């Protein structure tokens, strides 16, 4: 079995490689990383755009494989939050016929960084860098913003694994979906 991942982000690829070991039907799969376009903005700002980005990554990487995985982070409006928005991570697994979606836990970004995304058109990594919250221009390729905000208690790779695991529910219990 071959699983293509629509990203070169080491955290996303390593998350897939690690999580498939938990599943008998996937543990012997080869994982291939392919850089593809999400077809959405660098910082999606709705659930629809974020889901579409994950699906686009999955379908754009579905070449000579059995499954492909697209993973996208974005912002969604969420009432009762300090900024009015929360991070949403979407995993889309594509089997050549259907998409199987999973979602990681949501969390809220800092107020000033969120404002910069909307007011200056930055993505969240750029906003963190510009706010001097990190010295890494692309924090998502390192510990991730979630790693920074949890002081290393949860890494970007671990966070990504939650979304993948939720999408895999559909493949483990196809009779329910």
Per residue in 58-91, pLDDT (tens digit) is 999 999 999 999 999 999 999 999 999 999 999 9
- pLDDT value, residue 139: 83
**Whole-number average pLDDT of the chain:** 96
**Residue 27: is its pLDDT beyond 80?**
yes
pTM higher than 0.85, yes or no?
yes
- 107-133: average pLDDT: 94
- pLDDT value, residue 135: 86
- pLDDT value, residue 132: 84
- pLDDT value, residue 143: 84
**Residue 136: is its pLDDT beyond 90?**
no
| Interacting residues of 89 by C-beta distance below 8 A, sequence separation 6+ | 50, 71, 72, 73, 103, 104, 159, 160, 162, 163
The answer to whether 133 touches 147, Cβ cutoff 8 Å, is no
**Residue 140: is its pLDDT beyond 80?**
no
Give dist(CA 21, CA 26) in Å, integer: 7
The domain limits of the chain are 2-176
**Residue 133: is its pLDDT beyond 90?**
no
Quick one: what percent of the chain has pLDDT higher than 70? 100
- pLDDT value, residue 137: 83
**Residue 141: is its pLDDT beyond 80?**
no
Domain range 2-176, CATH class: alpha beta
């Amino acid at each position: 079995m071959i699983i293509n991942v629509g990203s070169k982000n080491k955290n996303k690829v390593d998350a897939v490689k690690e999580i498939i070991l938990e599943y008998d039907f996937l543990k012997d799969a080869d994982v291939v990383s392919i850089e593809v376009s999400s077809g959405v903005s660098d910082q999606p700002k709705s659930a629809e755009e974020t889901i579409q980005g994950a699906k686009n990554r999955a379908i754009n990487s579905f070449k000579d494989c059995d499954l492909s995985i697209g993973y996208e982070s974005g912002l969604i409006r969420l009432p009762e939050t300090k900024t009015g928005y929360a991070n949403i991570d979407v995993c889309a697994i594509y089997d050549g016929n259907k998409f199987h979606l999973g979602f990681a836990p949501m969390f809220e970004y800092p107020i000033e960084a969120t404002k910069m995304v909307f007011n200056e058109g930055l993505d969240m990594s750029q906003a963190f860098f510009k706010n001097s919250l990190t010295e890494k221009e692309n924090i998502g390729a390192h510990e991730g913003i979630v790693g920074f905000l949890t002081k290393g208690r949860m890494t970007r790779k671990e966070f990504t694994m939650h979304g993948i695991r939720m999408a895999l529910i559909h493949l483990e219990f196809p009779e329910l979906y």
